Structure 1
Amino acid sequence: MNMETILSTDLYREIITASIIFIGSVIAAKLVFFILERYVTKITKKTRSTVDDEILQSIKKPIYSFVILLGAYFALISITVVKSHSALIYKAFTVIAVLIFVFTLTKIIGVFMKWYANTIAVKTKTDLDERILPIIQKILNIFVYFIAFIIILDQFGVEITPLIASLGIGGLAVALALQNILTDIFASFSIYFDKPFEIGDFIIVGNDLGVVKKIGIKTTRLESLWGQEIVISNTELTSTHLSHD
């Protein structure tokens, strides 16, 4: 048997082995999906909350995809001619895995935001929750995307320390430029959690007095005794003496 025949025979065996590994991963993925669909779903449906049901729906397909992804990776690197590029393959599969993770995590964040909006925010007297929740969700999603972006860059050998430093400087510049807006937003958080007043309360702030009609992210609106609308920044409300009946 000549060398060419031996090589072709070995390659043939490796391809068969790789195929078995990949098919095995597909079967394993389907088995995991079946268990989640058939058994875990029954458990989550017995609970009062719908959060676990929605989280399960959010993670089933990503888990299925991830198991197949692992199978494809191990199948490829089991082939000798491909193994020489294993480092590049690892990086490529890591990127795909990170993207799957990002997709899953953002879906889970959305589930929790939806749960809070439907169970807690609707019970409050103000619409501050509804206004703040989308902002919080966007901030969390951006943070997840940023971490994923850094991980992907790191996989391809990009020096991330200077990038983080430059982003920090850029973020500081933006924060300084938006200082007043950010201060009002943080003040709205303070009003929401401390609850110094609520809609319908009569309050006195400095020379202004009236009934609280709306508490927003940046400002709070009062109706004076003469029917006029008074707009006061949330920062002013949290930093000056306030009294109410």
Structure 2
Amino acid sequence: MKLGSDLRALEGRIGHQFARPDLLVQAVTHNSVASATREDYQRLEFLGDRVLGLVMAEALLEHDRSATEGQLAPRYNALVRKEACAEVARDIGLGEVLKLGRSEMMTGGRRKLALLGDAMEALIAAVYLDAGFAPAKAMVLRLWGKRIETAEDRALDPKTALQEWAQARKMPPPDYIVLSREGPDHAPVFRIKARLQNGKEAEATAASKRKAEQAAAEALLKVLM
């Protein structure tokens, strides 16, 4: 398969030339133009999300060897969430080369956060399948760059991170359900469940409702990641 000049230019921007160009074409093909002979990027997106997660987990552990799990989790979420992927996609001009149907183009598909984030994950998977983990890791580290060093500053509180996760997947905000309130008024203990529309949920307890909600959101993010 011969790539067009736009995709050759993209190869230059990401620093990887494909031995299997069909993988790159699939990574930039939206389901609005997919067909029986033209696969879209959804399966690649599924894989790319996992590759990105492993790369970022390793990078964060290496960057701060003294950080606890509680400190690492929000940094990790800041680096792998759809907003971060879309930001990198914009940096490399991924939106300009996406293959979209007319309706998607008319509604600004090349600029949509969720679409750009999904395509970025698909591109990571395409490099992984084309050349293996080491080149995919090298590309991710190069493209994410200083974002890894500044992850602590970019990290969101768990409730905000969970809400953004849901919004990026066209879900309503999560629900927070008070399961119990025990103890005296001066020392209450709240048990709260965070639940998403897709049925995923997690519980946590804390000495205030707000802290219990934050803890439940953090627990649910760990389930999702």
TM-score, length-scaled by structure 1: 0.27
Question: Which structure carries more helix by proportion?
Answer: 1
Larger radius of gyration: 1
Higher relative contact order (CA 8 A, sep 6+): 2
